[in-house]
């Protein structure tokens, strides 16, 4: 039994040592003793909570599963219960600490291909709609620091109750002195003070767990947070990202530019911790009932979402990397209707804090990979997976993580080989692969560059949105991805091939691909007709 206690005890001792060390020195050497005192009293307490929670989870797994044969039904049942208990403990820790921890919980909720389903479901159900809320006094504190006045002086009207709250900030409705209705994003007061220290404590816990359990390697997750969080905490970067995003659509994708929108920024009322934007009414992108009431078709919304992000990934190289449902609104495009009389949707992109730029080489390889995936091209999948960092030993696994499909389905020439129905059978299959190849997936995520990790996260978000909008299957999504990625590859090749013969070969290649895509689309329609006939 003594060995069962050894690993958890190490965690608690490590936490306790760090909690008691360096506090006085930190306060004495700081230029802002009050803030340092706040940090040095809050952070050690959080680290102690972290250590106790981690130790409790480790002990629960070791004790509960001790002696149960691997692969037995009893072990699987007990493991399910331990997963649930541990997920709830982690959830409670995230809510208690807030900020960076909420962000971490949100990421965990998107890792279907790596994390047990109990963790994914627990985090996914709570982390987007139960975020901490700053008091009105704390909001006023931010206003005074940033603009020198309280909200009631800055605006004609300001609702003290936020309409939304996220891990880093909350949003209030206000009206400017000239009568414009605006949304005001206010950073939570503790974020600036404790973000760096919270990152350090999370890193310590993850590194300690990796030391105790070498196969449990989530250091790539910490690295992603450390890179992206400082940018997300500067709202002026977010404002500039929104402007650049729309400019890219006007310049590089004019055919859909009027169907993609971002709220206008009120620059004179915005700082690094306050962001004032045009207020926009719209339906949340996964709210099918409201979308239909507004006169739009959910399938058309899903196609627009897929088209928008495919253009960003494969043509712009500047990608919104947090497209979960709360960050995407939809409204009717003024004066636009489809041939069936339905209103054409306009996609409203919110929260532009997390963007990633893909250099030309990465963008070309990523577009080529997706083109190969859509056409089940084994050689193309391998070649471009290797170029993106997966290596020749893990390219099969990489293709599976990107598509959420096993390899035999990835290279299946059937027209619907990449479709993910979202059924219980699909989820069970994914979890089985996640469990079976856990060490290899961890190694894959460790070696992939951060930009590709964020593309995986973006794919996961978009997959969840599409699954909520499409009534039957998401095959149309892959046809759109095939079209945009193929066009991006052709355009990139044209830029580097000057001779007439080369350009003619590239043009013929594009014609062949367009014909194959058209054939896929025809096959998709036939499948839908067959399903409809069978159902009736």
Q: How far apart are CA 385 and CA 455, in angstroms?
A: 13
Residues 154 and 247 placed together within one structural domain of the fold: yes
> Does residue 165 sit in the same domain as residue 77?
no
Q: Are residues 410 and 464 in the same domain?
A: yes
For residues 175 and 109, membership in a common domain is answered with no
Tell me the torsion sign for CA atoms 454, 407, 369, 522. Answer: negative
Say yes or no: 275 and 383 in one domain. Answer: no
Q: Which domain holds residue 168?
A: 131-191+234-255+263-279
**How does DSSP classify residue 316?**
I
pLDDT digits (tens, 9 = 90+) for 46-78: 777 788 888 888 888 888 988 888 878 898 889
Residue 393: phi and psi, rounded to 5, are -85, -20
CATH value at residue 158: 3.30.200
Most confident of 14-28, 57-71, 86-100, 281-295: 281-295
**For residues 518-527, b (16+ Cβ closer than 10 Å) or e, as one string?**
eebbeebeeb
The answer as to whether 414 is a domain residue is yes
Query: Does 178 fall in a domain?
Result: yes
Q: What is the pLDDT of residues 272-321, one digit of tens each?
A: 999 999 999 999 999 999 999 999 999 899 999 999 999 999 999 999 99
Q: Determine, yes or no, domain membership for 296.
A: no
Q: Are 247 and 145 contained in the same domain? A: yes
pLDDT digits (tens, 9 = 90+) for 336-346: 777 667 789 99
**What pLDDT digit, counting tens, does each position of 128-172 carry?**
666 778 999 999 999 999 999 999 999 999 999 999 888 889 999
Give dist(CA 254, CA 517) in Å, integer: 22
**Residue at 289 is within a domain:** no
The band of 3, judged by pLDDT with boundaries at 50, 70 and 90, is: very low
User: In terms of domains, do 436 and 391 share one?
Assistant: yes
Q: Are residues 204 and 142 in the same domain?
A: no
Rounded CA gap, 445 and 402, in Å?
Answer: 12
Q: Which DSSP category does 173 fall into?
A: E
The per-residue pLDDT for 428 is: 63
Q: Which of 322, 377, 393, 416 is catalytic?
A: 322
Q: How many domains does the chain have?
A: 3
Per-residue CA distances from 369 to 162, 443, 466 (Å): 42, 20, 21
| Predicted confidence band of residue 182 (pLDDT cuts 50, 70, 90) | very high
pLDDT digits 0-9 by tens, 104-138: 887 777 776 667 778 888 887 777 666 778 999 99
In a domain, 530, yes or no: yes
Q: Is residue 376 part of a domain?
A: yes
Same structural domain for residues 274 and 379? Answer: no
Residue 242 — pLDDT band, cuts 50, 70, 90? very high
Domain assignment present for 381:
yes
| Residue 309 domain flag | no
What is the residue-averaged pLDDT of the chain?
81
Q: Is the pLDDT of residue 449 over 50?
A: yes
Tally the C-alpha atoms within 13 A of residue 324's C-alpha that lie toward its C-beta. 16
| pLDDT tens digits along 476-513 | 788 888 889 988 888 887 776 666 666 666 666 676 67
Tell me the two tokens of residue 171: 């949003």
**Stretch 516-536: mean pLDDT, rounded?**
61
Assess whether 48 and 145 both reside in one domain.
no
Looking at the fold, whether 111 and 71 belong to one and the same domain comes out as yes
Whether 368 has a pLDDT exceeding 80, the answer reads: yes
Structural Rg of the chain based on CA atoms: 25
Q: Which helix (H) or strand (E) holds 187?
A: strand 181-187
For residue 232, give both structure tokens.
């997300």
Asked whether residue 96 falls in the same domain as residue 14, the answer is yes
Q: Is 351 a catalytic residue?
A: no
């Amino acid at each position: 039994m003594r060995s069962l206690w050894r690993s958890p005890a190490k965690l608690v001792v490590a936490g306790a040592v760090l909690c008691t060390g360096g506090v006085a020195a930190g306060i004495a050497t700081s230029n802002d003793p009050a803030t340092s005192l706040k940090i040095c009293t809050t952070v050690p307490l959080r680290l102690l909570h972290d250590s106790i929670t981690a130790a409790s989870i480790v002990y629960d797994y070791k004790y509960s599963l001790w002696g149960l044969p691997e692969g037995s039904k009893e072990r699987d049942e007990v493991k399910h219960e331990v997963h649930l208990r541990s997920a709830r403990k982690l959830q409670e820790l995230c809510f208690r600490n807030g900020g960076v921890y909420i962000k971490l919980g949100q990421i965990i909720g998107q890792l279907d291909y790596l994390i047990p389903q109990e963790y994914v479901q627990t985090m996914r159900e709570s982390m987007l709609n139960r975020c901490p809320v700053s008091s009105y006094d704390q909001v006023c504190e931010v206003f005074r620091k940033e603009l020198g006045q309280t909200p009631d002086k800055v605006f004609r009207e300001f609702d003290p109750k936020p309409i939304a709250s996220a891990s880093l900030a909350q949003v209030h409705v206000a009206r400017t002195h000239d009568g414009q209705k605006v949304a005001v994003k206010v950073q939570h007061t503790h974020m600036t003070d404790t973000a760096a220290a919270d990152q350090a404590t999370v890193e310590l816990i993850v590194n300690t767990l990796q030391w105790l359990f070498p196969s449990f390697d989530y250091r790539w997750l910490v690295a992603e947070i450390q890179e992206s969080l400082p940018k997300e905490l500067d709202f002026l970067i977010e404002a500039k990202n929104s402007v650049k995003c729309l400019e890219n659509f006007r310049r590089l994708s004019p055919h859909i530019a009027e169907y993609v929108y971002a709220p206008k920024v009120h620059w004179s009322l915005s700082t690094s911790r306050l962001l004032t934007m045009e207020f926009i009414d719209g339906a949340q992108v996964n709210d099918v009932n409201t979308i239909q009431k507004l006169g739009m078709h959910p399938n058309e919304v899903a196609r627009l979402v897929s088209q928008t992000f495919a253009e960003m990934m494969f043509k712009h190289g500047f990608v919104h990397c947090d497209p979960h449902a709360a960050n995407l609104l939809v409204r009717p495009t003024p004066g636009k209707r489809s041939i069936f009389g339905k209103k054409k949707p306009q996609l409203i992109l919110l929260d532009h804090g997390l963007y990633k730029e893909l250099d030309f080489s990465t963008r070309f390889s990523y577009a080529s990979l997706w083109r190969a995936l859509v056409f089940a091209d084994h050689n193309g999948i391998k070649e471009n997976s290797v170029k993106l960092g997966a290596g020749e030993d893990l390219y099969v696994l990489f293709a599976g993580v990107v598509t959420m499909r096993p390899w035999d389905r990835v290279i299946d020439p059937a027209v619907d080989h990449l479709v993910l129905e979202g059924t219980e059978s699909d989820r069970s299959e994914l979890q089985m692969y996640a469990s079976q190849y856990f060490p290899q997936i961890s190694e894959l995520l460790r070696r992939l560059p951060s930009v590709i990790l964020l593309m995986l996260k973006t794919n996961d978000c978009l997959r969840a949105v599409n699954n909520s909008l499409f009534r039957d299957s998401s095959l149309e999504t892959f046809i759109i991805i095939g079209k945009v990625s193929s066009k991006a590859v052709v355009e990139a090749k044209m830029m580097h091939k000057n001779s007439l013969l080369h350009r003619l070969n590239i043009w013929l290649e594009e014609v062949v691909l367009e014909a194959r895509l058209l054939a896929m689309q025809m096959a998709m329609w036939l499948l839908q007709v067959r399903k409809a006939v069978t159902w009736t």
